[in-house]
Chain A
Amino acid sequence: MTAQTLVTTTPAQVPVRTRRRFLGRGGEDRPSWGTTIVLVLCTLAVIVPLYATVTMAFKTTEQSVDGQVFSLPNPISVDGFVQAWELTDFPRAFAISVFVTAVTVVGTVVLAAFAAYAIARNWGHKFFRWSFFYLLAAMFLPFPVLALSQVKLTGMVGLANPVGVALLHVMFQLSFSVLLFTAFIRGLPEELEESARLDGATTWVVFRRIVFPMMAPMSATVAIFAFLASWNDFMMPSLITADSTLQTLPVLQNIFQTQFSSNYNVAFASYLMAMTPAIIVYLFTQRWVMSGVTQGAIK
């Protein structure tokens, strides 16, 4: 990967370039209202389910079963949230989700950054080059293929719990993250590292003081994808974690399909509480989310 490509894919530059490109296109300066209106109508497909979630969550139980899904809550009630809070034992489920996600994010960034630095700076060495392809191979290995053995193994070694889930989340994020980091580090100039080494800095100091700080934009991208994958995951925690009181927030939502299926306001309040953290993170990190998708696909 050339340095030039990397510069242009740096997240910070995306919005700027986008704007310039748009101004330069065609000869017409007039915005198209027709296209704008069609697109606004299309956003209804995104908004309607989310709107229904919010309105249902704030209704009373009586109003939530009247069949008028899209009516506004009248009166506005937070009963749903209060009950959902208790039924899902929200503080505990939230804490477990935060724990799994935090371990996944930190573990992914740290392990992938170290590994990618070692690989990128020793590419001429067979062991490192082959390690790269070995780690990359997992990108083509879907979880269902490994699930039966992984559940058995995690059970055997006492990891049928959130720690095991976090560990596996890190492992499944590694391929993608090592790929992004390695490409990024190859684009960083080596002169700085070499002059530091001449001044007597060890590899560890060079990494911690020079390379890792320079990797910050890519670390942000890697961290956000690890966050989204881990926070929203259902398949892995539902299979790996044996004790249902240690389940993550998304998995716990299934209690509203079975035990409490008629309290719609409670169910929707709970869904809303489960999806809000990811939406908030997204609102603050859109830039990295958007650029990360593109970099992951066009590798």
Chain B
Amino acid sequence: MATAAATRPTSRDVAAPTPFRASRPRVNRTFYLFLLPTLILFTLCITLPAIMGITFSFTDSVGFGEFQFIGLTNYVALFSDPAIRSSYLFTIGFALVTVLLVNLLAFLLAVGLTAKIRGKIALRAAFVLPMVISGIVIAYVFNFLFSNSLPQLGQAVGITALEQSLLANPDLAWVTIVIVTAWQAIPSALLIYIAGILSIPAEVYEAASMDGASSMRRLVSITLPLVAGYVVINLVIGFKNFLNAYDIIVGLTNGGPGTATRSVAMTIFSGFTGGDYAYQMANATIFFLIAVVLAVIQLRLNRGRSAF
């Protein structure tokens, strides 16, 4: 990724038509055969359900049988529903805390892993490993550790807050979800930071060392500003992913205790059973709009980055 900082391509670069190709408008028919199966399947599997979901959000459907259009009633009800509000508050708060923690730790690890150290290859392989482990399975493992080993540790060292299982504590259960999500999400953020740090020319560091800059000074004044673009991209990608939190929550608390850790995805899926199918479709539509806003922010940031 050495030249990535300089030539970091964006979606806009992709959009720029090549004059050479543009001058050949006649398209070989085989190319349509190459593209059409994908387009048709994609439309049936993604676009059709999206349109269907938005349409149903304006009805009073319970998932089967007859229904009628009721305008914005579902949306109005959503905004005054305390269960919905608390799921959004929980999900957004969780995503914010997690994205900050993940990026702080991933950045520090990336600095360590790009320094002159022993066993670099093995260490990096170890830190990336959590990425390939199924979220639900590792959540079950942590579930056991949080409900058995951590209270034991709490008793042994005399921390009363830890003597009870964190999973059963309505005020602290979210901490366990942050920990396991971070455990799994740090590797990809870490790899992006490593690429960012490696794209900084070594000469910059050499010059700074010659001027007598300490390693702390080099970190704050050189590394951090030069990987700022990577920080931003990691924050946006991470936040977007954490908003979809589901697997790990199911494995740890299943939304509990009570509804203390119920994410938006979990409330949407309750539309399968609770008889409020159309209502949760409206919820999903709102969730979709949030995803679109984040996507626009991400594209804007990409564009801004390519300017410098």
Contact = CB atoms under 8 A, between A and B. Distances in A.
Nearest to A24: B202
B250 A286 contact: no
| A interface majority secondary structure | helix
Interface string B67-91: 0000000000000000000000000
Interface string B189-227: 001100100100010011001000000000000000000
Contacts of A132: 14
Nearest to B16: A123
B206 A141 contact: no
A293 B2 contact: no
B3 A8 contact: yes
Contacts of B237: 297
Interface stretch (A73-81, A84-92, A214-222, A264-272): A264-272
B195 A286 contact: no
Nearest to B29: A203
B11 interface: yes
A257 interface: yes
A203 B33 CA distance: 11
A49 B141 contact: yes
A48 B171 CA distance: 26
Contacts of A22: 114, 116, 120
Nearest to B195: A294
A259 interface: no
A27 B207 CA distance: 10
A147 B269 contact: yes
B58 interface: no
B126 A46 contact: yes
B157 interface: no
Interface string B4-28: 1001111101110110011111011
A39 B109 contact: yes
Interface string A119-160: 101111101110110111011111111111111110000000
A250 B248 CA distance: 12
A99 B230 CA distance: 37
Contact of A282 (B112, B129, B288): B129
Contacts, number: 330
A170 B234 CA distance: 25
25 contacts: A18-B198, A21-B198, A46-B130, A49-B142, A111-B37, A121-B21, A125-B25, A131-B39, A134-B42, A135-B42, A142-B244, A144-B246, A144-B265, A145-B268, A150-B49, A174-B38, A174-B42, A204-B30, A254-B136, A268-B141, A271-B140, A275-B134, A278-B133, A290-B128, A297-B192
Interface of A: 1-2, 4-5, 8-9, 15, 17-18, 21-22, 24-33, 35-36, 38-40, 42-43, 45-47, 49-50, 52-53, 56, 67, 69-70, 111-112, 114-115, 117-119, 121-125, 127-129, 131-132, 134-136, 138-153, 167-168, 170-171, 174, 178, 182-183, 186, 202-204, 207, 228, 231-235, 239, 250-251, 253-254, 256-257, 264, 267-268, 271, 274-275, 278-279, 281-283, 286, 289-290, 293-294, 297-299
Interface of B: 1-4, 7-11, 13-15, 17-18, 21-25, 27-28, 30-32, 34-35, 37-39, 41-42, 45-46, 48-50, 52-53, 56, 63, 109, 112-121, 123-138, 140-145, 148-149, 152, 183, 187-188, 191-192, 195, 198, 202, 205-206, 209, 230, 233-234, 237, 240, 243-244, 246-247, 250, 264-265, 268-269, 271-272, 277, 280-281, 284-285, 287-288, 291-292, 294-295, 302
